[in-house]
């Protein structure tokens, strides 16, 4: 009769296909399974390693990294979940396959250190990758590790190595571009001139972008049921990406206030179009079907971009739709005294740090009121203290 293992010691057994498998019990009561071992000896060794890692954890000793799945195995699970919540999941998968896979896919989560990340960055920079793209790659790794840290029992990590990167490594991925130099429409008169030169429905789409800060995909996905005239709110519940409706960026719906300048335009456009369905239908709804045999339900992004490019070209202005609308809205909101925290909520940013790239507060925006922040009394007191300090130093030097 075979000797039974003690309770909690796991089990080793042979599967019908002849391979060996193991089971063990986690602290939370789950019984994980791992199979495909060619011999009982191999299965016994792996089970002993896993049980040893559990014992180390109870004793406060760091677990053996080899007891956890590789980063590639973890990433495959993570990206499948991300498909359901993030429109840019395909970009994330592409960055992993092109820039991270060959460096870290074979490692266990606990084996990725700041030194390993620096090697990845240096390799990618030497291969000609821009700083901005490298920054996206590092940010992807950080987002991935944020998820891994939420499941320490399954991954063996509780801290994000990207958070521990030294300043020297962060400089390698910091873009040279200065956000303050991003172009935008700098005056109300210029905004009005662009609006007047556009034709419907692009005119209304531009007005929504420049007066509410919505992204182009969010504008194209707007339905009249999302315009709450009673509460004066635009309900951002969806966006159009690759001709498909999907949740807003990061999957977070939000309510954007309808500012006073935008309300008349929305009322005019509702009266003109009937106020049902999508605000912006395709420019040519009867056009030839695409490769997949279906006609688009949404306005094409080129319809917006081409119309705006034509108008801006005549005005000798060079900027994208994004810069002429969202960047313009954010910049004017801050210049006119709006709070950056409130702007972050309107734009749908997770933190105000992200919102700062939209601020164009340079010396040209300093007003006379800003220059008068120090009262004459405070200036006189400061001057008196400076004079007194200089006299004391002079007297000391003469002694």
Tens of pLDDT, residues 1-30 = 445 555 556 888 888 888 888 887 766 566
Predicted local confidence at residue 284, as pLDDT = 56
| Whether the predicted pLDDT of 145 surpasses 60 | yes
Low-confidence winner among 180-184, 221-225, 275-279 (lowest mean pLDDT): 180-184
pLDDT digits (tens, 9 = 90+) for 233-244: 999 999 998 888
Between 294 and 187, the more confident residue is 187
Between helix 202-212 and helix 188-197 the angle, nearest 10°, is: 160
Q: Which residue has the higher pLDDT, 237 or 181?
A: 237
Highest mean pLDDT among 51-65, 144-158, 227-241: 227-241
Tell me the C-alpha distance between 100 and 94, whole Å. Answer: 10
Establish whether the linkage from the previous residue to 201 is cis, with ω within 30° of 0: yes
Tokens representing 70 are 């590789």
Which helix H or strand E contains 196, and what residues bound it? helix 188-197
Q: How many percent of the chain have pLDDT more than 70? A: 76
Which residues are CB-neighbours of 247 under 8 A, at least 6 positions away?
85, 87, 237, 238, 239, 253
pLDDT class of 324 with cuts at 50, 70, 90: very high
Residue range 37-48, pLDDT digits in tens: 888 888 888 888
Q: What pLDDT is attached to residue 61?
A: 46
CA-closest candidate to residue 138, choices 111, 189, 104 = 104
CB atoms near residue 129 (< 10 Å): 17
């Amino acid at each position: 009769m075979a000797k039974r293992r003690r309770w909690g010691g796991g089990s080793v057994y042979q599967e019908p296909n002849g391979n060996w498998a193991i089971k063990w019990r986690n602290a939370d009561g789950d019984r994980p399974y791992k199979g495909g071992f060619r011999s009982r000896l191999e299965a016994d060794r792996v089970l002993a390693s896993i049980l040893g890692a559990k014992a180390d954890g109870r004793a406060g000793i760091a677990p053996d990294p080899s007891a956890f799945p590789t980063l590639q195995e973890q990433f495959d699970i993570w990206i499948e979940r991300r498909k359901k919540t993030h429109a840019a999941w395909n970009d994330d998968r592409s960055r992993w396959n092109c820039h991270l896979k060959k460096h870290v896919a074979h490692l266990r989560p606990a084996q990725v250190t700041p030194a390993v990340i620096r090697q990845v960055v240096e390799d990618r920079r030497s291969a000609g990758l821009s700083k901005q793209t490298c920054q996206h790659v590092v940010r992807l790794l950080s987002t991935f590790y944020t998820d891994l840290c939420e499941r320490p029992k399954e991954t063996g990590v509780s801290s994000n190595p990207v958070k521990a990167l030294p300043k020297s490594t962060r400089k390698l991925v910091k873009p040279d571009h200065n956000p303050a130099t991003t172009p935008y429409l700098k005056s109300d008169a210029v905004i009005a001139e662009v609006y007047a030169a556009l034709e419907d429905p692009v005119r209304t789409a531009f007005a929504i972008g420049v007066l509410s800060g919505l992204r182009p995909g969010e504008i194209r996905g707007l339905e009249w049921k999302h315009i709450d005239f009673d509460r004066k709110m635009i309900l951002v519940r969806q966006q159009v990406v690759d001709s498909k409706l999907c949740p807003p960026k990061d999957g977070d719906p939000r309510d954007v206030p309808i500012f006073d300048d935008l309300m008349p335009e929305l009322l005019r456009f509702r009266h003109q179009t009937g106020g049902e369905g999508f605000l912006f239908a395709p420019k040519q709804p009867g056009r030839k079907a695409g490769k997949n045999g279906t006609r688009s339900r949404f306005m094409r992004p080129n319809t917006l971009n081409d119309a705006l490019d034509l108008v801006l070209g005549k005005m000798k202005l060079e900027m994208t739709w994004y810069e002429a609308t969202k960047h313009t809205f954010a910049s004017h909101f801050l210049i006119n005294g709006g709070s950056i925290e409130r702007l972050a909520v309107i734009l749908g940013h997770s933190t105000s740090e992200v919102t700062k790239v939209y601020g164009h507060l340079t010396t040209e925006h300093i007003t006379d009121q800003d220059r008068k922040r120090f009262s004459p009394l405070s200036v006189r007191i400061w001057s008196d203290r400076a004079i007194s300090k200089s006299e004391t130093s002079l007297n000391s030097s003469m002694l």
